Structures are given as structure tokens and as C-alpha cells.
Homo-oligomer: A and B are copies of this chain.
Amino acid sequence: MAKKQLIMEKALELFAAQGFESTSVQQITEHCGISKGAFYLAFKSKDELVVALIDHFMMQFISDIDHSVKNVTNNQQLLYNFYYATFNSFYKHSDFAKVLMKEQSQTINNHELILKMRYYDQLLDKIILAMIKQLYDNTVEQIQYDLLYCIKGLIRIYSELFIFSNVQLDLDLLSKSLEDKTKILASNMTVPFITSELIQLSQLPINEEELSPQHIVKFIDQKIEELGDSVEKESLLLIKDHILEPRLPQAIVIGLLGNIQHHPHLKWVSYLLRNYLLN
């Protein structure tokens, strides 16, 4: 519908200049030259508009990049094309890029939106990882996640250059420059930091259900069965009691968590517990 289009366009301009929260529906409707009621005919709420915007542009963005990467037979051009497509897309939709940078993932309180952003972020991760794999196959298995983060870091920081100042950049040189940096890192990096386990820990959804005490206790019971007698097992037992009937001082809880956090099989459980007990 044309009305939706109009609202999305005009709202994006305002969001880019002021941010979500500081932009009122009133302002949007004035900027569109329509009434408040008309806005609520097109979108059920302000949040729905935001979701629509994110969806619309992220889909476009992701598919742009995916296209640039998938349709390259010559590996020599892969990285260059990837960077070029990325920054070109930022240019084409610079207002959206601005919003994206400003509302750095979670300014918004809307849980749905956070999940959505995380979803798109993981899609992008997949694309980049596939590209890394295609370029270096398994010679970089141990450094692939570090490479992923380096690439994302480069994009993030070089984006700021032209998103927050209105300087016109030489996209060709920029892409070549980042290609250069990436290749150098790929073939010389010797101290990787990010393991696949770390990735899993940081990406796993923090949905409410998973953080319910019932779920956590069940999970702890499972781990207790797996463990032999040890400090870890004893700590887990104490923590479990504390969850069912809180009575330990914070300092002791922290200490107990410290006892288990380095055990290779307890990383997930200690992640859950930290979230549940310390927030």
C-alpha cells in the first residue's frame, strides 16, 4: 500500500535524525501530511512501524550482500565484492544505516525487536562465515570466528566514517583497503580468541522460559548426575538449593559460580546461572 510506503519513508528520515524514542507519531504524521488516524490505519502501533522498517531494510541489505557473495566464481574478487556491496548498501539506504548505528541493537525495549535484530545479525554471520570457508576452506578453522569478528569490527568502525560525517568516500579504495586488511589477518593471525563454544554462549537466545527456575533446576540436576564427586558438584548442589529457597548471601553465590565457570562441561550452566542469579 502506498500509504505504508510513505509513512515508512518519512518516518525513517525522522528516526535517522532523532532516534525512535524522540520521534513522536504526531511528528511523523505531520511530516507525512496525514492525520493521526491515518497512521493507525496503516500500522497498528508505533512499534509495528519500527518492525516493518527493520524487516524491510534488513531483508534488502542481507540479500544484497548474499547476492554479491554467492554470485562470484572467482575467489580473488570475493572479499572485495563483499565489502563493496556492504558499503554500497549503506550508501543507498544511509538513513536506515544511521538508525541502525544509532539504536545499536537494544536501545529499544521491545523484546521482539531485539530477537529480530539478533536473527538478522546471525544471518549476516552465516554469510560471512560461508565466505571465509570458501576462501580458506579449513585452513583457518581455528581462526574463523576471530576473522568474522574482525570483519564485523572493520565494517562497524569504517561505517562511522561516512555515516556520521557527510564525507563522500571512495568505495572502491575502501573495499580494496578492507580486503587487504582481511587477507593479512587471515594469513597471519596466530592467537585466536573466539572459540565455537564462545560463539554459542554469546548467541544463544535469552528467552524467558529458559531462565525460569524450573528449567534451570532441571538442567542442574542433569549436570549433577554427569559429574563425579568434586568441588563443582558440591557447588552445583548448593546453588540448586539456593535457587529453590534463596538464603545465601550474594558473595557466596558469586564464589560458588566461580567454582564452576571454568569446567568445560559447565559453561552453559554457569552462563544460565549468572543470568538468573546476578541480574
Q: How far is the CB of A100 from chain B (nearest CB, A)?
A: 10
Q: Which of B107, B150, B274 contacts A166 (CB 8 A)?
A: B274
Q: Which stretch of A28-36, A190-198, A242-250 is in the interface?
A: A190-198
Number of A residues with CB within 8 Å of any CB on chain B: 55
Closest to A148 in B: B157
Q: Does A105 interact with chain B (Cβ within 8 Å)?
A: yes
Interface SS of A by simple majority? helix
A258-279 vs B, CB cutoff 8 Å, 1 = contact: the mask equals 0001000000001100110011
- Looking at A104, A153, A161, A271, the one whose CB has the most chain B CB atoms below 10 A away is A153
Shortest distance from the beta carbon of A203 to any chain B beta carbon, whole Å? 8
Q: Tell me if A73 counts as interface (CB < 8 A to partner B).
A: no
Which residues between 170 and 195 of chain A lie within 8 Å of chain B, taking CB atoms? 173-174, 176-181, 184-185, 188-194
Question: Does residue A19 face the partner (Cβ distance < 8 Å to B)?
Answer: yes
Closest to A159 in B: B153
Most buried by B among A149, A178, A275: A149
For chain A, residues 149 to 167, give those with C-beta under 8 angstroms from any C-beta of chain B.
149-150, 152-154, 156-158, 161, 164-167
On whether the beta carbons of A153 and B157 are closer than 8 Å, the reply is: yes
B166 touches A278 (CB 8 A): yes
Judged by a CB distance under 8 angstroms, whether A47 is at the interface is no
Contact pick for A191, options B103, B152, B177, B274, CB 8 Å = B177
What residues of B have a CB within 8 angstroms of the CB of A167 in the complex?
198, 201-202, 271
Q: Are B194 and A161 in contact (CB under 8 A)?
A: yes
Q: Does A106 contact B (CB under 8 A)?
A: yes
Query: Is A222's CB within 8 Å of the partner chain B?
Result: no
Residues of B within 8 A of A274 (CB): 166, 168
Whether the Cβ atoms of A188 and B191 lie closer than 8 Å is no
- Decide if A261 touches B168 in the complex (CB within 8 Å): yes
A21 within 8 A of B: yes
Contacts A101-B104, A153-B157, A165-B271 given; 8 further ones with Cβ under 8 A?
A19-B21, A153-B154, A153-B158, A173-B191, A176-B191, A181-B189, A184-B188, A184-B189
20 sample A-B contacts, Cβ–Cβ < 8 Å, listed by A number: A18-B109, A19-B21, A19-B106, A19-B107, A19-B109, A106-B164, A149-B161, A153-B154, A153-B158, A156-B157, A161-B198, A165-B203, A166-B274, A166-B278, A167-B198, A167-B201, A167-B202, A180-B190, A181-B189, A185-B185
The residues of A with any CB-CB pair to B shorter than 8 Å are 18-19, 21-22, 101-107, 109, 146, 149-150, 152-154, 156-158, 161, 164-168, 173-174, 176-181, 184-185, 188-194, 198, 201-203, 261, 270-271, 274-275, 278-279
